Structure 1
């Protein structure tokens, strides 16, 4: 529909400016990052210092080290003329209206007539920034409010002015969704837009519960974290991460900007916040905020004495039992009915948040869906306010609001009079004010290329086969999808058996044109089911384990050489056996945020289902020739990656490491991966699919290379980076990677390396230290370095 942006400029190299520039570079753009000239020395000193600091951030803001090279640094004095060549300019300078207006005037004299200009401000009226510019400029001007950190937070609030060209808005929405991987919400030009307006309200309620109602910091974070479907950082840990000075700045600017907000007093900053900021207690960046780490203990602030104290036992009744309920809806309903302090806090704060969100329509947004999406994508809530209201029950919440005199907006009363019982209907409609100014259910706007398996599964006829932990779903057009449903999407016995059945169906049914392997979970697969393997090992049933390894290797080979296209659609963590499955797939569609790795050494094993064989094959393909001297550096890098159980920090890095092929399609918006994978499978079928050739001549380097790899493991152990058992496991890995007992380089068939994997993998399961590692991982979810 539109031409994608290829070049961009970010004006202002502060925290947000550098991170926005980094994410644009991640998306493949060439980016000019400009800031004020330094007053002395090199004029680029300020921007270079900011960029250097940004590159050290953790988690990383760039997909790979190479990505950072797409950014070209400059200053406003010497390099402003570069802006004449860019497609999109993003202003992210200091929050001063006069400065921004002057910058807009200077911009208009330089940029192309078709260049789009946007501001990332969150504290100033968008329309005021460009109000003195020409009509042509104003048509191409809008707000694009990214959330920090832009790489990881999905929300992009797009804020038009009255003059913004609708085509510019559509182009920005399209580019944001497809190329930047964002969830785009159109917001109105009101203070703090959508997410920060609601989010800050919720934060201030938490602060007031601490200062005025006797709840401790730990209690409030327990009640505003994962228990209720919010990030584990909850209220106070999030405040420490954001910075108390930032929170103070936002609220102090928001309060005078919303004189007509009936709940304005909630945004009055508690005096304790001013005291903390004035003494330099700013949160994580100063080492103390609401929390402080002292020794190995996490202390929290006493609101009366302003001293840090050890955490006291929670006085929240049976909240631990509520936390064990696996379904969020069940937890919310149980917490709402709870008669202890936990339930009292939840009812009081949640009713206020729901009422406030309802009263902000149509001020900040026209649709409940926009507010829900903004809170999910910007603040990491699993459910937005109106989705929570539906879970608790429309009438239940409305009755409770009336009982405690919470102001209810007229549109909610109209809903009640119209006998509407929920904001959402059938997951496809939302109750809102339509174009005719009448309240009714309106179809939800869902991008056509963002496939949801819940929608597919809603039609029973589209489930073609299933067992308790897996299913085969009909995606239409002859493409089917194999979905893991095991805990953690592990490759359990039932999942492996299901793969066997599905591959038989794929080969025998003429109406099946291709297969996608994927799921709707945050993470593709946690790898092999360690609990099942550990039980078999501890019971001494090694024959069953051997059969399982043979079966899994065989199935992955069948995936590799299937006569019809098979595409893996992956996202999040893809570990161990899950990584081996993906490496076997000849075609991969990966969300940009994919973290993939062969992590078996962390549990005392080596990859045993083809991961080593495929790694060695890819190493030889990357080398300039089959000469050992050309292969050796690549082999060592791959050996260290597996020996250290390294996991990629992005799909792009996974390609550099070798876990993903260079042909893998990387999609910035992970919600598109299933649709793209389906399209890929269908395309491969339509053009006449041919599976990859058998790997019958893989060059392995034999004992000389093995000795070099073992020496590298020895050096790591002597340096204190690995235990003695780590070194032993690395030796077993080196043994397989170099061809076992081969005394010299040789060409081998892939089956030779698969057999070596099996023969080396199985004995490791009988090792006490391996079994200790497996048990520790199952108990703590962390590796044991014994």
Structure 2
């Protein structure tokens, strides 16, 4: 079991991993070298940098991190269940650190290195022979908040059961796309990704292109990120590239060389954005670019490549074929880059990867490629690939020869096996689980309804006023035992635009009709004949948060932003107040208030806090973890870092709910005098902070009086709807609400 994690090295990578691990609810010890004046200053600065870079998916998790220094606090690692080394990428420095741990770590502690270029075996200190079975590589990608890939490797003597458990821990607890790779220098992603990057740079000078032209050719045209080649290096830092290529050349003996004009730029300290410029820089209002031939800067020149616009218009990967046929020298550049990359990948894959999909996913998840090299080669076909990699000095790689024999790298329903001349099912490869999760998400987005299994059906919710129709349609068509509702709502999810237009036109019957549609949607949740789970995985303020209040359970990605911006306009969203009361509200200083009852008048909801429901807090709650602490989400809800697996988790939760006994509430408990006073005080606070006129305050005070009286849920929602209509008649409310909606919509973009 992992409860406490020690991270040594508080640089950008170590600090970011500390933020990730702490956000998963684990205690963290973050150590760095001893500072000259303040001993813990280097680690403290690393922690502060991680906070400013939003490395903490749960902003409150910073309190779980203890900082220290390796001179005085190495003993703090003795109580850690997992120690992760993230110090400078130097072999001997790493080996020396591991030797310092020999008398510190426990007999059951996992030890991992975050190396990006060295083989695990080359870092292992022979004096620590007892570690060999629990000494792993965990190559995180930066920033881990956005890049989910973590390459994981072990030594041949590893305890495979424990290694497999650790891989699952990385996936489920930390939300990583854990990719099992062979213990080789650079593993898979850096070995191939940096090789292709270095090749792209060398070919720039050899073929005679400008840096602008290369970036135009090596971005989305080839299914790579918009930052392409040189802009990517400016963003990440030329020093990182020089260090990485040097280490990989040292470790592998392969050609990761950079041309003299790049080395000169490095020696002069032009490292990219961090130093004010690299291959590109600004001079006042002018954008400058490096001239490859002269090594000096000149004005930026927009590339003019014949036929490029037409090629871009084609979908990927079809445009790969068209890019190859661009007029020279541009087509020649693309052919040389793809051919060189493909040959290297084909030759080295048996040394670094456990299967071909692992190579594709490494480049897709780690370097942002739209399709990995084997998926690209499959799209082009073996014959064209053979033409691209043809060389007088090399024969055809064995994997390509076998691909010809079996009908490609991905014959229908399978994939070419690396170690032997055979085809294996795709479901048998190391990435099958994550691939399956991705397919489920894609199918849900495409169809709108998807059977998750175990009697649980996922439904994409695009409008809250269509909930009744969606639920009825899904249940009639699929006969589910439970539903997983996935909000995909525009703006704040309520039809505010239509209501405001109708109010402005004085069409109050139209306003009431729109509100009635929303009320029917929420009532469909309240009266659902089967349990349902709400799945939140992004910016889910407004109607999506309301859905979570009514859910039997919620499964939420930790960074989901919940709340009600509408409160800033003085109008609690329709269904939100009743939703809180249905779940059972405990207001500080008063007895249990609210709470739904069944037909037998037995409270059935868990208590939650109402104190968060004010403009001060409820407009925007920055993480699902904080929302759970505030009571917006219940203690039984699932807050997860595993974004890929949210639907899988929802299936498991839904299946459990389907087999449980649950009575649907039919009415609200009457509030006692203390509860009514507290609820009125809260409404006064809401309306006062929004500076609403007295007439609007009276509207909501009257609505609360109705809600506090033990009415049915249907009546409570009707009272909320009436309050909405009357509030919109107040001249100030529509204008304020329009501003709130506009700001919330802009924020989502």
When normalised by structure 1's length, the TM-score is: 0.78
Q: Deviations over 1:588-631 (max 9, x none)?
A: 112234345556799x9978554576589999756554999xx9
Q: Which moved more, 1:292-301 or 1:165-174?
A: 292-301
1:368 alignment partner in structure 2: 356
2:603 alignment partner in structure 1: none
Q: Deviations over 1:548-601 (max 9, x none)?
A: 443233213312441311112232343554444444434211223434555679
From 410, 418, 423, the equivalent of 1:440 is: 423
Separation (CA, whole Å) in 2 of partners of 1:82 and 1:688: 47
Separation (CA, whole Å) in 2 of partners of 1:549 and 1:322: 49
Shift of residue 514, structure 1, vs aligned partner: 0.8
Alpha-carbon contact 1:36-1:46 (below 8 Å) kept? yes
Alpha-carbon contact 2:495-2:514 (below 8 Å) kept? no
Separation (CA, whole Å) in 2 of partners of 1:561 and 1:569: 19
Q: Deviations over 1:39-98 (max 9, x none)?
A: 4x44323322332333222xx011233201111122223322222222111122233433
1:516 alignment partner in structure 2: 484
Within 5 Å, give how 1:301-700 maps onto structure 2.
301-304=290-293, 311-320=300-309, 322-323=311-312, 327-332=315-320, 334-336=322-324, 345-402=333-390, 408-416=396-404, 418-423=405-410, 425-426=412-413, 429-434=414-419, 437-442=420-425, 443-446=428-431, 451-452=436-437, 454=439, 471-483=448-460, 490-491=462-463, 497=466, 499-504=467-472, 511-518=479-486, 528=493, 547-574=513-540, 576-596=542-562, 598=564, 609-610=574-575, 621=586, 623=588, 625=590, 634-636=612-614, 638=615, 642=619, 646=620, 648=622, 650-655=623-628, 660-691=633-664, 694=667, 699-700=679-680
Q: Deviations over 1:114-158 (max 9, x none)?
A: 111111122333213224124322222121111112333211111
2:685 alignment partner in structure 1: 705
1:32 alignment partner in structure 2: 29
2:722 alignment partner in structure 1: 755
Structure 1 SS opposite 2:5: strand
Alpha-carbon contact 1:706-1:735 (below 8 Å) kept? no
Is the alpha carbon distance of 1:656 and 1:123 closer, same or farther for their aligned partners in structure 2, counting shifts above 3 Å? same
Is the alpha carbon distance of 1:404 and 1:143 closer, same or farther for their aligned partners in structure 2, counting shifts above 3 Å? same
Separation (CA, whole Å) in 2 of partners of 1:348 and 1:537: 61
Alpha-carbon contact 1:615-1:658 (below 8 Å) kept? no
Separation (CA, whole Å) in 2 of partners of 1:569 and 1:480: 12
Structure 2 SS opposite 1:13: coil
Shift of residue 284, structure 1, vs aligned partner: 2.4
Separation (CA, whole Å) in 2 of partners of 1:556 and 1:342: 58
Is the alpha carbon distance of 1:627 and 1:361 closer, same or farther for their aligned partners in structure 2, counting shifts above 3 Å? closer
Separation (CA, whole Å) in 1 of partners of 2:440 and 2:201: 39
Separation (CA, whole Å) in 1 of partners of 2:96 and 2:67: 22
Is the alpha carbon distance of 1:451 and 1:50 closer, same or farther for their aligned partners in structure 2, counting shifts above 3 Å? same
Shift of residue 449, structure 1, vs aligned partner: 8.5
Is the alpha carbon distance of 1:470 and 1:769 closer, same or farther for their aligned partners in structure 2, counting shifts above 3 Å? farther
Separation (CA, whole Å) in 1 of partners of 2:699 and 2:15: 49
2:83 alignment partner in structure 1: 89
Is the alpha carbon distance of 1:250 and 1:509 closer, same or farther for their aligned partners in structure 2, counting shifts above 3 Å? closer
When normalised by structure 2's length, the TM-score is: 0.82
Separation (CA, whole Å) in 1 of partners of 2:668 and 2:13: 48
From 40, 51, 55, the equivalent of 2:51 is: 55
Is the alpha carbon distance of 1:92 and 1:703 closer, same or farther for their aligned partners in structure 2, counting shifts above 3 Å? closer
Is the alpha carbon distance of 1:692 and 1:586 closer, same or farther for their aligned partners in structure 2, counting shifts above 3 Å? farther
Separation (CA, whole Å) in 1 of partners of 2:217 and 2:587: 52
Alpha-carbon contact 1:372-1:384 (below 8 Å) kept? yes
Q: Deviations over 1:662-715 (max 9, x none)?
A: 54212222121111111111111212133456557682448853563135xxxx
Alpha-carbon contact 2:23-2:56 (below 8 Å) kept? yes
2:601 alignment partner in structure 1: none
Separation (CA, whole Å) in 2 of partners of 1:370 and 1:506: 36
Is the alpha carbon distance of 1:236 and 1:775 closer, same or farther for their aligned partners in structure 2, counting shifts above 3 Å? farther
Aligned residue pair count: 717
Gaps of 5+ in 2: 594-608, 708-715
Separation (CA, whole Å) in 1 of partners of 2:453 and 2:536: 20
2:710 alignment partner in structure 1: none
Separation (CA, whole Å) in 2 of partners of 1:424 and 1:592: 38
1:719 alignment partner in structure 2: none
Is the alpha carbon distance of 1:758 and 1:161 closer, same or farther for their aligned partners in structure 2, counting shifts above 3 Å? farther
Alpha-carbon contact 2:492-2:543 (below 8 Å) kept? yes
Gaps of 5+ in 1: 485-489, 712-730
Is the alpha carbon distance of 1:753 and 1:456 closer, same or farther for their aligned partners in structure 2, counting shifts above 3 Å? closer
Is the alpha carbon distance of 1:546 and 1:85 closer, same or farther for their aligned partners in structure 2, counting shifts above 3 Å? same
